[in-house]
Amino acid sequence: MPKGKKKGKYESELQEKFEEKVLETIDALSARSNAARAAALVALRSAFQRRYLTPMLMGQRLTLADHVTRALRRGKDGERRAAASLAPILALQIGEEGTEEFMSVVRPALLAAAMDKTASLESRTECCSALAILCYLLEEDLTEVIEVMKTFESIFRGRQREGVWSRSGGGRLPRGSRGRLGAAASRLCAWRREVL
Q: What are the pLDDT digits (tens) for 21-35?
A: 999 999 999 999 999
Question: Is pLDDT at 150 greater than 70 in this prediction?
Answer: yes
Please give the backbone phi and psi of residue 168, each rounded to the nearest 5 degrees, phi first.
Answer: -95, 180
CATH 1.25.40 fits 3-141, yes or no: yes
Q: What is the pLDDT of residue 40?
A: 96
Mean pLDDT of all residues in 53-68: 89
Q: Give the residue among 91, 77, 81, 177 at the shortest CA–CA distance from 139.
A: 91
Q: How confident is the model at residue 121 (pLDDT cuts 50, 70, 90)?
A: confident
- The predicted-structure confidence for 156-194, as pLDDT tens digits, reads as follows 776 555 544 444 444 444 455 556 666 666 666 665 555
Residue 109's alpha-carbon distances to 72, 84, 164, in angstroms, are: 6, 10, 26
* Domain limits, the chain: 3-141
Residues 6+ away with beta carbon under 8 Å from 92 = 48, 137, 138
Mean pLDDT of all residues in 1-6: 58
Q: What is the pLDDT of residue 187?
A: 62
Question: Is pLDDT at 58 greater than 70 in this prediction?
Answer: yes
Question: Is pLDDT at 80 greater than 80 in this prediction?
Answer: yes
